[in-house]
Amino acid sequence: MHRYPASIQAALHAMQAAGVPTSLQAPPLHRLLWRVGMVMPPPLLAGFAANALLMGVFFAVGWGVLMVPLFGLIVPLSTLAILGSAGGAGALFGVIMALVMRYQQQRYPLPAWRSLRRGGTD
């Protein structure tokens, strides 16, 4: 297992103790970002805006890249149409996922991210 910064390890331990399923504790995107050195809260400890922005941006980029080979061959799309569609899909996906995370946050008794950040040195 990769050694994450102290605050991330504390967050993962707190979520495990609260009975949070492993798939919710650290999704693949977050594990990747932690491995490259970004210290950011797991989705269940992040705020609504942070979850919406992070998940929406990554979805929009991925969807925009996929739109060209998937739809560009059937219906020629302008760059503006691709950017608009990817941005709209990313915004919708980000808000929906942030709402899902907000619902999950209410299900488990978890400490605040700030308290975990203060407790460990990264």
Q: What is the pTM of this model?
A: 0.81
DSSP string, the chain: -----HHHHHHHHHHHHTT--HHHHS-HHHHHHHHTT-----GGGS-HHHHHHHHHHHHHHHHHHHHHHHHTTTS---HHHHHHHHHHHHHHHHHHHHHHHHHHHHHS----HHHHHHHS--
- pLDDT per residue over 88-113, tens digit each? 999 999 999 999 999 998 898 888 88
- Separation CA 9–CA 82 (nearest Å): 39
Of the pLDDT bands very low, low, confident and very high (cuts 50, 70, 90), residue 6 is confident
